[in-house]
Each structure stands twice: as structure tokens, then as C-alpha cells.
Amino acid sequence: MARSGAAFVRSLVNLLKRAPLSSVRREIDLERVIVPMVRRHAQQALATDDQDIDDIVFTHGSTREEKRRWTRSKPDQNVMVFGCPNTSDIFIKLPGPETIYIELKWAKRRGVKADTLPGDLQRSIGQSLIASLRHPYVICLVVCEHLRPDKTDDYGKKLRMLLWKKHRIALIVRSRRP
């Protein structure tokens, strides 16, 4: 592998920040759109002649074989906390010991003024923190049906920096349109 885990994560984060997601209406749509992008990116950046992409990127899958691979990956990806497993939406097993846990969240708007970003953001960051106990890299992608513009006293940038610096969690909060 020519690039480090951190470099691979940065390049994947850049891809996810600008990925076209205008067709997404639900969390399952988000996964269906993101998975092929992640697989292509990993194939280009990581896969070698002797290592198949199916041994690198694991997802819930739609075929029986994909579902079997997903189940077989759980011992490598699950993080047990208080007896409960925390499982990723997408799991990447880099060549060597490094792994990337990807958490996807769709923040649906629930009315003219109300949205679920605060709750969805809290849940996804919590899941990502748990994942960081075991995995060296975590990507947390929260896509908002409606995203308000940043305010002058917004701590979003500080939160992103803190999560990366202390926990190697790359937080992306974005709308469907890049």
C-alpha cells in the first residue's frame, strides 16, 4: 500500500465531502450511493493484484455472498460496550493492521423550523467515539436534508478538529448538495 491510513482517510473524506447526494431521501439511499464510491476509491488506492476489493471493503450487501462477507467481518469490526455490539455501516480493512469504521447518518427535516440534526449528530458522534476505542480511523458522515448556514459562534469547525486530533474521527456534516 503506497499511502498511509491517514492519507487514505483524508482522500476518502474529500471524496465524501463533494459526493453527489441529491437523490438521497433516506438513510438506506445514502448507503446505496456511498458504498460504490467507497469501493471504487479503495480499489484505486489500495487493491493489489493479489487482494480482491471484497477482502477490503465490507458492507451490509444485497446478495447472499455479500451478506456472508459482512457477517464474517463482524469479529474484526464490532466494538462491544456494556455487552452491546456497535457495528459500522461500512467497514474497511486496510492491508496491515489498520481499519476504518464508517458511520452514516441521514438527518431528516421534521418541519419548517425543526430538524433532527442535533439528535442525529449526537448519536452518530457517540457511535463514532465507541468505534474509535477499537479502530484507528473513523469517518462519521451526517447528511442533512436541510442544513442551516453556520453562525458566527458556531463550534462545528472546533468539533471537527477536536474529534480528529484526539480520536482520529473525521466528521463530515453536509447537505445533500456539496
Per-residue confidence (pLDDT) for residue 61, from 0 to 100: 86
pLDDT exceeds 80 at position 86: yes
Per-residue confidence (pLDDT) for residue 72, from 0 to 100: 93
The amino acid present at 96, given as its one-letter code, is G
* Closest to 94 measured CA to CA, from 61, 136, 34, 147: 136
pLDDT exceeds 60 at position 128: yes
**Cell 458504498 appears where?**
35
Q: pLDDT band for 1, please (50, 70, 90 cuts).
A: very low
Span between the terminal Cα atoms of the chain, in Å: 30
Per-residue confidence (pLDDT) for residue 3, from 0 to 100: 58
Using alpha carbons, list the distances in angstroms from residue 54 to 47, 48, 62, 88, 139: 10, 12, 13, 16, 20
Q: Please, what is the average pLDDT of the chain?
A: 88
Q: pLDDT band for 2, please (50, 70, 90 cuts).
A: very low
The answer for 83, left when phi > 0, alpha when psi is -120 to 50, beta otherwise, is left
Mean pLDDT over 90-111 rounds to: 88
